[in-house]
Structure 1
C-alpha cells in the first residue's frame, strides 16, 4: 500500500476529511505535484515509490525559521522529489525526521512519542564534540548522522572549494599584518593560549564581542580582507572540524589563513597545501611570528594560487543542508541504529 500523500492540503485527503481549496490553489498544487513526480537525479532510486520524499524537521536548527512550504529544494537548489516541512502533524507521513542536537536538550522528552515503522531519524550537529552535551542519552535512537565529519552518513561541511574555470587571482589591498575575530574567548581554550603567546612577538588586530569591537554582518569581510594574515583558530580541535573561520573569514575575504585545528594533513583534504599556514608547521610561536613579519611579496602571492582554479562556496542556509538528505537518500544504509552516538562522535 502506498503511504498517504504528504501534502496536508490534498483535496483527496484521508476518508472523512473535507478539504476546501480554491480553483487557483488546486491548479497550483497539481502543478507542484507534477514537478515532484517528474524523474530527476535528486529523486529516490525506488521506481515503485513515485511520491516525493517527505523530510520533517522536528525543530529548526536556527532561531529564525525560514519559509519551507512549497518545493523549496527544487526552487532554490535544483533538488527535485524532495518536500521539506516543519509541520509535526505530518509525522506519520514523513520518510525522514531531522533532529538538530542543539534543540534536543534536555533529553528524550523532546522526541516524538512514537516512531512510525520504516521511518528514519537523523541526528544533526555542526558543533564539535567539545561543545555537544549529553550525547550518552541518545544510544539506539538515530539511523543516520549529519555533521561536518567526512564519515557522516550525510556530510555537511561549513564550506568547500569548487572548480571555477573563469577564476582569477584577486588579492585585496592590505593595511595591516594579522587580524582575528573572536566572540567567545575562554582562557582555557588552546586558541587563547596560542594567541596570548603569539601576540608577544607581533601585533594582532582583534575584533569581536570578546574584545568589545563587534563587527556588523557586512563589515566582517571588508575588515579581515585588509590583513595579510588571519588567525583561523578553531574553538576546539577535532577531526574535520574546520569552520567558517577558514572558509568565510579568511579564504573568501582574500587573506591567508593561519590555522589552529586538526593536523595539516586533515586540512589538505579540503584545501591545497600551499593555501594556508599551520601553527604546527613551526617549532615555536616566535618562529611563526618571524615568518609572517618577514614574508616578501612574491612568496605571499603564492598562497593565492588556488584562486586561479577554485572559488569558495559557503553553506549558510539550513534549507540547503537539509535538502542534501534527499540527494543522499538512495545511498544511505537501511535498518541501522547508532548504538553509541557519543563514542562515534568522539572517535
Structure 2
C-alpha cells in the first residue's frame, strides 16, 4: 500500500500526468461504446414485446383462453356447458354448410360431421354444450352404423324435401343438426298435405289427418310413455314412430351414450374433489307426479326405512325451484339420485337419468337394469332389482358413502364414454343421428326405403 502511495505522488509531480489521465478516460469510454450501442436495441425489443402483448390482450377471446388454460391434469369435472376435455386438442376439418331456416335471407354457418381417417377413424360431432367429440360408436344394440346415420345422399340441385309438421314443437329449428341435408319443415297453413314428402303427427292431432299418398312417410311423434296409445286406436297407415323406441329408423331418444375415440378420451381427475368433500347426504329425488304405475313411490317409501331420502317437489316436504341452481345441489350435497321413471317400458329413459343422473357428480339409481343397461356406460348406475330387497340395497349405498374408493369406481366410465342429453332446446350436431334429421336423410334415399308399422305393440307401452 505504501508503494502505491509513493508511486502516485511521483506521477502527480510529473508535468504530463493530466494528459495521461485524459487518455485513459478516453480508452475506457471506447471500450464501453459497443455495449452502449446495444442498449437501445434491447430497449426496442422490450418495447415491441410489450406492444405485442397489449395487442394480443386487446384481441383476446376469453372463452378460447379459458379452454386453452385448462390443465387436464388438474381438471376436475365438466360442468353443464363445458366440453369434454382433450389433453391435446386435435385440429379437425370442418365443412361450412348453410342452415336452411324459415327466414330465407338468414344464413348460419355450421360445421358438418366428418369421418376422420388416420390411425383410427372417428366421427366428429360438435356442440356448444359438449364441445368437439370424436366418437367411435353409439352404445346400444342397433342394426345400423354411424356411417349410415351421418351420411345423406343429398342432391344439391334438387328442391328441398318437404316435411309437414302437425306438431307445434317440430319446426325448422329441429333440423339444426343437419342443415346441409336440404330439408324444410312447414306447417299445414304453408304446405298442403299432398305436396309433403313426409307428415309428422301426434296423439293430439292425428284425427285431422286426411290421408296420404304412397310416396309419403307418415310419422307418429310422441315422447311420453303412453302417447303412443293413438297408434293402436287409429286406422291411419303409419310408417314409423319418432319417439324413445330405439328400433325405429327415426328414433328420438332423450339421450344416448357414445364410445369416445382415443383422441377425445379423458385424462386426469374425473370428479370434482371439492364436490366429493362436501357431500354429506345420501339420496335426492325430484318428483311432481305422486301416483306412478312404475311403483316408484312405494320403492322410495320402503327405502326410506333404511337410508335417508330427501324428496323435493309436490310429493315431498322439501322445495327447490326447478333449474340449474337446484340441481347443482346434486353436485355438492348428495351421493345418489333416484332416477325413477313413472312407467317401466322398453327403452323409456328420460331426463331423470340422462340429465339429472349423468350431468352431475352423482351416481344414478334406477328401478330395472334390463331397461337401461345396453344404452349406458358400464358400471355407471345402481339398479334396485339387483338386490334381494331394499334393505340390502340401502346397506350397499351406505357402504359406498363410507368408502370413497368404491364410490369413485362408478365414475371410471368417464374416461372412455360420454353421456349426451338431448334437451330439445339445443338443436345441434348431437341430434344428427336421430329424429327429424334421420327422417330427412331417408327422404333422400333412392329408392326410398319402405317402412310399414304393423306390430303396434313393439312401438307402444
CA distance in 1: counterparts of 2:242 and 2:349, whole angstroms: 15
Residue 190 (1) aligns with residue 295 (2): yes
Instruction: State the 1:89 CA deviation.
Output: 3.2
1:217 pairs with 2:319: no
Q: In the alignment, is residue 165 of structure 1 matched against residue 265 of structure 2? A: yes
Tell me how far 1:43 sits from its aligned partner. 7.3
Q: Aligned residue for 2:195?
A: 93
For 1:11-90, what aligned pairs fall within 5 Å after superposition? 28=105, 44-45=152-153, 50-61=158-169, 68=172, 73=175, 77-90=178-191
- Paired residues for 1:1-347 under 5 Å: 28=105, 44-45=152-153, 50-61=158-169, 68=172, 73=175, 77-91=178-192, 92-101=194-203, 103-104=204-205, 108=207, 110-111=208-209, 113-129=210-226, 132-162=228-258, 163=260, 164-166=264-266, 169-171=270-272, 172-173=275-276, 174-186=279-291, 189-211=294-316, 213-225=319-331, 226-261=333-368, 264-295=369-400, 296-317=403-424, 320=431, 321-330=435-444, 334-339=449-454, 341=456, 343-346=457-460
1:187/1:193 contact within 8 Å kept: no
SS of the residue corresponding to residue 292 of structure 1 reads helix
1:178 Cα offset (Å): 0.7
SS of 2:246's partner is coil
Aligned residues: CA RMSD: 3.3
Tell me if structure 1 keeps the 8 A contact 2:152–2:444: yes
Task: Note closer, same or farther for the CA distance 1:260–1:141 as it changes in structure 2 (3 Å cut).
Answer: same
Q: Secondary structure at the match of 1:268?
A: helix
Three-state SS of the structure 2 residue aligned to 1:290 is: helix
CA shift in 2, pair 1:77/1:314, >3 Å: farther
Q: Count residues in correspondence.
A: 300
Q: Which runs of 5+ in 2 are unaligned?
A: 1-99, 109-148
Deviation by residue 1:37-59 (Cα, 9 ceiling, x = unmatched): xxxx9675375982222122112
Q: Would the aligned equivalents of 1:54 and 1:96 in 2 still touch at CA under 8 Å? A: yes
Question: Aligned in 2, Cα 1:140/1:133: closer, same or farther, shift over 3 Å?
Answer: closer
Equivalent-residue separation in structure 1 for 2:450 and 2:347 (angstroms): 27
* Structure 1 unaligned regions, length at least 5: 1-6, 10-24, 33-40
1:215 deviates by: 2.5
Residue 188 of structure 1, CA deviation? 5.2
